[in-house]
Amino acid sequence: MILQELGSDQVVTLRPSDSIDKAILLMEEHGIRHLPVVDGQRPIGMVSDRDLLAGVGGLSKAERISTTPGDATVGPQRVEQIMSTPVRTLAPSDSIAAALKLMTTEKISSVPLVTDEAIAGIVTETDCLRCFLDDRAVALGTGWRFEKIEDHMSPEVLALEPGDRLTTALKIMTRRQIRHLPVTEDGVLLGVVSDRDLLKAWFRDAMFTTSETETGGAHMQPPDMRLIMKRNVVTVRPGDTVTSGADLMLQYRIGCLPVVESERLVGIITETDLLHCIARAYEQ
């Protein structure tokens, strides 16, 4: 299968001069995590939700307000200040194997497709995962499908507590370069927050802060995990197969699965972990 058949040719893009707020709004509106930055039609960078978290810096809008006259906001404001460069690209005629190798080698989650230097599409980790679960799409040995979650999960899980603030979670995700954090109490899983959840909450907090600043009102504390986390969490067990985990991720459109045993959190497995599992099988 070539990438033209796999990826999307409806690409939402940004300009270098666009605001960070616009990037957040576009991701929320379209339910996406990656936005190519273009000069004309030529991709010159990428903005991911991780780039946005790093741009925010783990600080609320209140903490980023300057004490100088005019209450200017401190830190990056435009897309060109936070975008990742150089941008890695492939051609629509390239194979899924090329995308899989590029993503796992470069540790990226999406690749713009380019024809004559103009953006023609985009392919993501989710696209690749869906393809490898389709028996008609890829003639690949089935051995990897029966490998166990426990052999590919991360057993050392950094977790939040219900009372942890938005800014705490932002700082942890930014510094550890992770996209998901379970929320636990005494080792029992209560919920999960993603980088997208934090960005949405941060944006709402920023809008509220701006309104309060303009009207002279007092700024409330940033929200804690009880208000942000998703509570109805889809989970897997250590002995489940990676195929069952991949099916759940695609079905519920989620990027990670907490691994639970006897109601206690024992690990976490992500979309990236599954692609690495498939990549190793593909190389063999």
Q: Please give the pLDDT value at position 112.
A: 96
Find all residues with CB under 8 Å of 135, minimum gap 6, and list them: none
Contact at 8 Å (CB) between 61 and 209?
Answer: yes
Write down the pLDDT at residue 136. Answer: 46
Name the domain count of the chain.
1
Q: 48 forms bridges with which residues in the sheet?
A: 34
Are the CB atoms for 198 and 169 separated by under 8 Å?
Answer: yes
The 3-state DSSP class for residue 224 equals strand
Quick one: CA dihedral 80, 81, 86, 87, positive or negative? negative
Instruction: Please give the average per-residue pLDDT across 274-284, as a whole number.
Output: 82
- Asked if 182 and 159 touch (Cβ cutoff 8 Å), the reply is yes
Contact 129, 154 (CB under 8 A): no
**What are 77-125's pLDDT values in tens digits?**
899 999 999 999 999 999 988 999 999 999 999 999 999 999 999 999 9
**Around Cβ 170, how many Cβ atoms within 10 Å?**
23
- Residues 6 or more apart whose Cβ sits within 8 Å of residue 45: 16, 36, 37, 79, 80, 83, 84, 85, 86, 87
Q: Find the DSSP H helices in the chain.
A: 3-6, 20-30, 49-56, 96-106, 125-132, 166-176, 195-215, 225-228, 242-252, 271-283
Cis, bond preceding 86 (omega within 30 deg of 0): yes
CA dihedral 27, 32, 37, 43 (to 10 degrees): -170
Confidence of residue 139 (pLDDT cuts 50, 70, 90): very low
Residue (of 121, 230, 140, 111) closest to 181 by Cα position: 230
Phi, psi for residue 132 in degrees, rounded to 5:
-75, -15
| CB atoms closer than 10 angstroms to residue 243 | 16
Q: What is the CATH number of the domain that holds 190?
A: 3.10.580.10
pLDDT tier at 73, thresholds 50, 70, 90: low
- CA terminus-to-terminus distance, the chain: 19
Distance CA 27, CA 51 (A): 12
What is the domain extent for residue 41? 3-283
pLDDT of res. 145: 82
- Residue 211: pLDDT band (50, 70, 90) is very low
Mode of pairing for the β-strands spanning 34-39 and 42-48:
antiparallel
- Percent share of the chain, pLDDT over 70: 83
Q: What is the Cα–Cα distance from 77 to 90, expressed in whole angstroms?
A: 29
pLDDT digits (tens, 9 = 90+) for 237-272: 999 999 999 999 999 999 999 999 988 999 999 999
